[in-house]
Amino acid sequence: MSSRRSEAARLGESERALDSIAAVGGGESDGVAPGLVWLEVANAFAGYVRHGRLTPGQARRARESTLHLPLRTTPSVELAAPSFAVALDRGLSVYDACYAVVAEVEQALLVTADRKLAEATSSSELLA
């Protein structure tokens, strides 16, 4: 088991979700996300450190590897109106609704650790 996989296992990530992320990283699959994804990822890893789930070094390495994923991002300005509507309709934050909007417009699988977001999106894989 690689270091990344053992760190992921500690975080409770699903194998299917890890495979999806690896496919994007390897260029076998396209990855799309809202432009705020990089800040959200950094925030998530900071939370893992605060809660003792990762050391600061592990979190930095994971964050850095994530920053190298070849994601096509949608600027936040383009997502503001549709995300606002989805947020009100589905009881999500506008930030979370951005991910649902991008996934649904692109007909993509949403890989998320957020159960509420996964349940509010038509095609998702929960990292849990």
Return d(Cα 45, Cα 59) in angstroms, integer: 5
Sequence letter at residue 46: A
pTM of the model: 0.76
- Region 102-127: mean pLDDT is 91
DSSP 8-class letter at 119: H
Instruction: Decide if pLDDT at 70 tops 80.
Output: yes
The conformational region for residue 72 under phi > 0 = left, psi -120 to 50 = alpha, else beta, is: beta
Long-range own/partner contacts, residues 46-51 (CB < 8 A, 24 or more apart): 48/11
Return d(Cα 8, Cα 6) in angstroms, integer: 5
Domains in the chain with CATH codes: 3-126 (3.40.50.1010)
Half-sphere exposure of 79 (CA within 13 A, CB side): 26
pLDDT digits over 11-59, tens only?
Answer: 555 677 678 778 888 888 888 999 999 998 899 899 999 999 999 999 9
